[in-house]
Amino acid sequence: MTAILDRSIRDIAQAVRDQEITAVALAEAALARIDVVNPHINAVVNLNPELTLKYAAKADAMLAAGEPLGALHGVPMTIKDSLDTFDFVTTWGTEGRADFRPGRDATCVARLRQAGSILLGKTNTPEFTLSFQTDNNLFGRTSNPFNLTRTSGGSSGGAAALIACGATPFDIGTDTGGSIRLPAHFCGIAGIKPTSGRVPATGNALPSDGLWAPLTQPGPMAKRVDDLALLLNIIAGPDWVDPNAITGQSLLGPEELDSPLRIGFHLSNGLAEPTVDILNAIQTVVDRLKQAGLNLTHHVPEGIEMTPLIFSRILGADDHETVLDLLERCNTHSPSAAIARNLAQPKPGFSAAELSQTLAVWDGFKSSMLRTFEHFDVLLSPVNAKTAIPHGEDEQMLDYSYTMTYNLTGWPAVVVPCGLDSEGLPIGIQVIAAPFHEHQCLRIAQEIQNQLDFFPIPSVLP
């Protein structure tokens, strides 16, 4: 019965509509697989099987009554615990919200429910999403299903680990510096960080206003690129609450492109040299695409070397006020180790002139980077300089510049798995496009997935 969970979301939804399987049986299958894998990886932090099965029974009754059905009718999902859910406890990974029910859904969650999806539970996240390793004081750490001594990444590490195990068809993550793309790379799944403003961040742990807000985007995570496109079309569009959500930008499916795309690529951004295994995996993709008749040219965007300086100054410019405010509002008195380290950093104490200069440099960086699209439609790069690191290992922050860059520019980026390293850990490739051109990076990501037909199977599965 659980084999149906390994099919695409479109196929699962069609199976429910065709009465090949009931929504109740589908939810039971997902809950059963969670029971098998979660003791190993600690990805799911909140379940309510009774409520889930009640929703599934209602979905079956709607189908039987001939009521209108959404695109995801009866399809189970999990949701990252940084995104509010009105009926499930939403902790944001912080002790002060250990039993907190928000009373309303995050915008993207509400849209998925309106499309007919059924919530299984919440997946683990570091406190306030502010770490590249998924660990917190409430639930502990999430392990990588390919090697339990390694991290699943952060901050959407619970989501990525569970999808990799086939225990949920999809999840919604959030990405401020790589928090969708890094776990996708570490756990061998697909994920997309949409264009800044494409999907409302209303109901996420990090506020949708303030200096950091343009960095953060919710986005779908699944095994297949085609499913990312389906889900993105459902959750995109302004909600008239998030001040950064953009109006008037339509979405296209990757199949709607009929002209060849100009593709740039680089194996290294000049800030952190990837491992040999990652370099070889990316080069193999480049070679396969060339053999398929696509035109690829080496390109490193002008200004990319400014990423670490600008990212660190933007995050530091508020003198810890964002984090301190979150701790106070959540009534959290004992922050996690990651948050404590953040607060232990000296306050930059920017003057108004220094803040103004930082914002001007950020705009100049975005302008310089945009010149890429005078010559290219899509850009390929590594996701990180390393594969999944051991639990608790200190990060080398330049390794994470491959994702941070595109939070600063606001460009959309997809990650798909493209190989395994010598230790059997997944390797992803990042496919980047111009703002509001998700259809282009999805198109090339789909081509890569078609060429490789690679869906790695975690060692934790029986």
> How much is the mean pLDDT over the chain?
96
Asked if residue 441 lies in contact with residue 387, where contact means CB atoms within 8 angstroms, the answer is no
Local structure of 144: helix, strand or coil? strand
Domain assignment present for residue 460? The answer is: no
Categorize the per-residue pLDDT at 252 as very low, low, confident or very high, splitting at 50, 70 and 90: low
- The whole-number pLDDT of residue 7 equals 97
Mean pLDDT of 2-14: 95
Asked if residue 11 lies in contact with residue 223, where contact means CB atoms within 8 angstroms, the answer is no
Burial status of residue 192 (CB atoms within 10 A of its CB: 0-12, 13-18, 19 or more): buried
Element (H, E) at 210: none
- The whole-number pLDDT of residue 379 equals 98
More confident residue, 387 or 462: 387
Mention every residue, 6+ apart, whose C-beta is less than 8 A from residue 115.
70, 71, 72, 73, 234
Token pair belonging to 265: 């690529």
Local structure of 125: helix, strand or coil? coil
Domain assignment present for residue 220? The answer is: yes
Evaluate if residue 343 carries a pLDDT over 60: yes
Evaluate if residue 256 carries a pLDDT over 70: no
Calculate ∠ Cα 130-133-139, nearest 5°. Answer: 90
| Number of domains present in the structure of the chain | 1
Domain assignment present for residue 228? The answer is: yes
Q: Which of 283, 299, 303 is nearest to 291 (CA)?
A: 283
Q: Which of 24, 435, 440 is nearest to 195 (CA)?
A: 435
Q: Could you give the CA distance from residue 425 to residue 441 in angstroms, rounded to a whole number?
A: 24
Burial 380-394 (b: 16+ CB within 10 A, else e): bbbbbbbbbbebeee
Q: Could you give the CA distance from residue 11 to residue 8 in angstroms, rounded to a whole number?
A: 5
| Residue for token pair 């996420």 | 204
Domain assignment present for residue 266? The answer is: yes
Domain assignment present for residue 293? The answer is: yes
- The whole-number pLDDT of residue 429 equals 99
Domain assignment present for residue 191? The answer is: yes
Sign of CA dihedral 357, 360, 366, 368: negative
Categorize the per-residue pLDDT at 396 as very low, low, confident or very high, splitting at 50, 70 and 90: very high
Q: Are strands 426-433 and 378-382 parallel, antiparallel or unpaired?
A: antiparallel
Q: What is the CATH number of the domain that holds 285?
A: 3.90.1300.10
Evaluate if residue 10 carries a pLDDT over 60: yes
Domain assignment present for residue 462? The answer is: no
Mention every residue, 6+ apart, whose C-beta is less than 8 A from residue 284.
418, 419
Does residue 435 come out as left (phi exceeding 0), alpha (psi in the -120 to 50 range) or beta? beta
- The whole-number pLDDT of residue 386 equals 98
Domain assignment present for residue 459? The answer is: no
Tens digits of per-residue pLDDT, 414-432?
999 999 999 999 999 999 9
Q: Could you give the CA distance from residue 98 to residue 89 in angstroms, rounded to a whole number?
A: 8
Domain carrying residue 190: 2-452
Mean pLDDT of 219-237: 98
pTM of the predicted protein model: 0.98
- The whole-number pLDDT of residue 2 equals 75
Number of neighbouring beta carbons within 10 Å of residue 270: 11
As annotated, the active-site residues are 80, 155, 179
- The whole-number pLDDT of residue 260 equals 87
